[in-house]
């Protein structure tokens, strides 16, 4: 019903602040279930995936209280419930973290099969492999995943594919198991390290997070903690590309430059100027953008969650670029929409060939998933004329106050509600 209307062609200029990381926050919130005292999470992003995660805890009986706009106090100590409410859980992918957290706390969990962005086949076999290795029995019936264990026992877990979700779920389940768990072929994303740091701040014993071997010595008790979510590497990268695509000059604040290296080094190749500071990064353009090739890979490779955004930038560059998607089966749904705006991109399976066209023109388009939506915003900001983006609920799952932040750096973007659609919806209900 709501849409973004962008009058493109304005250079982004000024300073923009990055919020806490979505993919860290959605794991840290269920992790609170593992401790026996209240916890306070700071730098929590204002996005719908976080609202859903907190609502799940609240519906299960936890006390959830915002102390300010980005700080939330969660008290899940009295909880007796190991079932996650179906309707909330199926709305987002990250509801699978309740499996690991509830299994770690109660030795049992019941959660619906997760939803999330349509990126192709999204199995959870590696999550179940990890739970089974810890001695849990796993079954899936009527759309629900059931886990039960008499006693979780530490074990060797080898992940057949590098999976962020399976690595984090294995950590959540193993943290209170008896004995030593070793996760091999673990994912290394910054949010894996953030989860380990949060659990360690509650008294867990986790070593090696950020490498491909993580060792977890189980503990019987975790205490409360006050912890700040890391900055969102993908939100930062999205702002960096938006600045470059509009020929702007922007200081992106509240970031960890190390987390952005795979993105910064590609952008430098494209001809974008980048200067790093302790916790901010400046992006500006003073020459032509040039072609490059990009292949997405698990961290520290180029992140798949930045693939649609960098492809959009490359439509504005000189020459032919080849984009290879190395993580998801289907992540080019936005290409048809970019074509409406004048992009010249052909897709064959996991490979897209982008012929730089130099400029885009505004058009009515639809976001088909979260990062696709971010790419269309970048395209709209860079394009001449008006772009209207529908289905922005995808974007609001992962970007905090995006339109307001972009307006601060000179973008002409408004969120508008369609009252006719709202009335029609009401009548249909």
Instruction: Name the residues that contact ligand EPU, by CB under 6 A.
Output: 23, 26, 93-94, 117, 121-127, 161, 163-166, 187, 304-305, 327-328, 370-371, 398
390 within 8 A of 3, measured Cβ to Cβ: yes
Residue 131 or 227 having the CB closest to ligand EPU? 131
Residue 48 or 248 having the CB closest to ligand EPU? 48
Q: How far is the CB of 51 from ligand EPU (least distance, A)?
A: 15
Those residues whose C-beta lies under 8 Å from the C-beta of residue 411, and which sit 6 or more positions away, are 6, 10, 12, 242, 246, 381, 403
Q: How far is the CB of 234 from ligand EPU (least distance, A)?
A: 6
> For 136, phi and psi rounded to 5 degrees?
-95, 145
Residue 144 or 297 having the CB closest to ligand EPU? 297
Q: Given the structure tokens 């000059």, which residue do they identify?
A: 249
32 within 8 A of 204, measured Cβ to Cβ: no
Cα dihedral value 69, 233, 201, 54, nearest 10: 40
Q: How far is the CB of 138 from ligand EPU (least distance, A)?
A: 12
Q: How far is the CB of 97 from ligand EPU (least distance, A)?
A: 8
Positive or negative, the Cα torsion across 44, 49, 53, 56? positive
**What's the first-to-final CA gap in the chain, in angstroms?**
15
140 within 8 A of 175, measured Cβ to Cβ: no
Residue 123 or 288 having the CB closest to ligand EPU? 123
Q: How far is the CB of 122 from ligand EPU (least distance, A)?
A: 5
Q: DSSP state, 209?
A: B
Residue 30 or 165 having the CB closest to ligand EPU? 165
Count, residues in the chain: 429
> For 137, phi and psi rounded to 5 degrees?
-90, 130
Q: Which is the catalytic residue, given 39, 117, 138, 368?
A: 117
Any catalytic annotation for residue 117? yes
Cα dihedral value 85, 398, 216, 159, nearest 10: 90
Residues acting as catalytic residues: 117
């Amino acid at each position: 019903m709501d849409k973004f209307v962008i009058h493109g062609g304005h250079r982004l200029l000024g300073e923009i602040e990055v919020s806490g990381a979505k993919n860290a926050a959605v794991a840290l919130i269920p992790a609170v279930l593992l401790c026996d005292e209240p916890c306070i999470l700071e730098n929590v992003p204002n996005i719908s995936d976080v609202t859903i995660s907190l609502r799940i805890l609240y519906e299960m009986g936890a006390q959830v209280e915002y102390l300010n706009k980005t700080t939330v106090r969660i008290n899940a100590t009295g909880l007796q419930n190991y079932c996650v409410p179906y309707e909330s859980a199926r709305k987002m992918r990250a509801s699978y973290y309740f499996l690991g957290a509830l299994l770690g706390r109660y030795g049992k969990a019941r959660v619906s099969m997760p939803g999330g962005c349509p990126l192709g086949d999204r199995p959870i076999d590696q999550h179940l492999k990890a739970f089974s290795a810890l001695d849990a029995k796993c079954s899936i019936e009527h759309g629900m995943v059931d886990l039960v264990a008499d006693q979780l026992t530490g074990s060797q877990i080898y992940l057949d594919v590098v999976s962020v979700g399976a690595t984090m779920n294995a950590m959540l389940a193993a943290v209170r198991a008896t004995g030593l768990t070793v996760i091999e072929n673990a994912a290394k994303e910054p949010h894996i390290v953030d989860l380990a740091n949060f659990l360690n701040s509650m008294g867990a014993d986790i070593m090696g997070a950020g490498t491909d071997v993580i060792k977890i010595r189980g503990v019987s008790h975790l205490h409360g903690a006050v912890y700040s979510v890391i900055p969102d590497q993908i939100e930062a990268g999205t702002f960096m590309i938006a600045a470059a695509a509009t020929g702007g000059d922007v200081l992106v604040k509240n970031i960890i430059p190390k987390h952005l290296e795979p993105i910064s080094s590609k952008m430098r190749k494209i001809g974008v100027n980048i200067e790093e500071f302790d916790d901010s990064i400046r992006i500006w353009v003073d020459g032509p953008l040039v072609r490059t090739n990009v292949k997405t890979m698990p961290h520290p490779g180029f992140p798949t969650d930045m693939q649609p955004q960098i492809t959009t930038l490359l439509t504005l560059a000189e020459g032919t670029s080849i984009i290879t998607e190395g993580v998801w089966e289907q992540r080019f749904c936005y290409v048809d929409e970019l074509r409406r705006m004048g992009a010249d991109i052909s897709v064959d399976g996991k490979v897209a060939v982008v012929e730089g066209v130099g400029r885009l023109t505004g058009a009515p388009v639809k976001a088909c998933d979260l990062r696709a939506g971010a790419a269309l915003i970048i395209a709209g900001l860079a394009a001449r004329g008006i772009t209207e983006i529908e289905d922005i609920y995808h974007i609001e799952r992962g970007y905090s106050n995006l339109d307001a932040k972009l307006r601060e750096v000179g973008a002409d973007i408004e969120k508008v509600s369609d009252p006719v659609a709202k009335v029609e919806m009401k009548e249909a209900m």
